[in-house]
Amino acid sequence: MKKKKTVQTEEFKETAIRLALAGDKSTAEVARELGLPMWKLYGWVQSWRKRHGQGDGKASTAAEQLAKLQKENRQLKEENEILKKAAA
C-alpha cells in the first residue's frame, strides 16, 4: 500500500518557516511539533532563504555557529599547549 501524499497549504508553509526562523526553537523541533519530516521543513527554509537573498540557503543557526566556535576554540587551545611545550 502506498502512503497518501499530504499537501500543505502555502499559509501552513509560511507559518512553519516563520517559526523555524524565529530562533526560539530549532528547525528540527518545529518540524516535530508540526508533524513534518525534518528534511521537508529544512527544504522550505532553504528555499525561502534563497528567494529572499539570505545567502545560499545554508545559513547556520546560532547553535551551529556556537558548535563551530567551540570546536575552533578547542583546536586553538591544543595548538597553544603544543607551542608552550615546544618553547619550554
pLDDT tens profile 12-37: 999 999 998 887 888 889 999 999 99
Q: Which of 19, 15, 44 is nearest to 30 (CA)?
A: 19
Number of domains in the chain: 2
Give pTM, 2 decimals. 0.55
Residues 25 and 12 in one domain: yes
Q: Is residue 68 part of a domain?
A: yes
pLDDT tens profile 34-62: 999 999 999 999 998 888 876 554 555 67
Contact (CB, 8 A) for 17 and 34 = no
Residues 51 and 25 in one domain: yes
Residues 70 and 31 in one domain: no
pLDDT given for residue 1 in this prediction: 63
Residues 40 and 81 in one domain: no
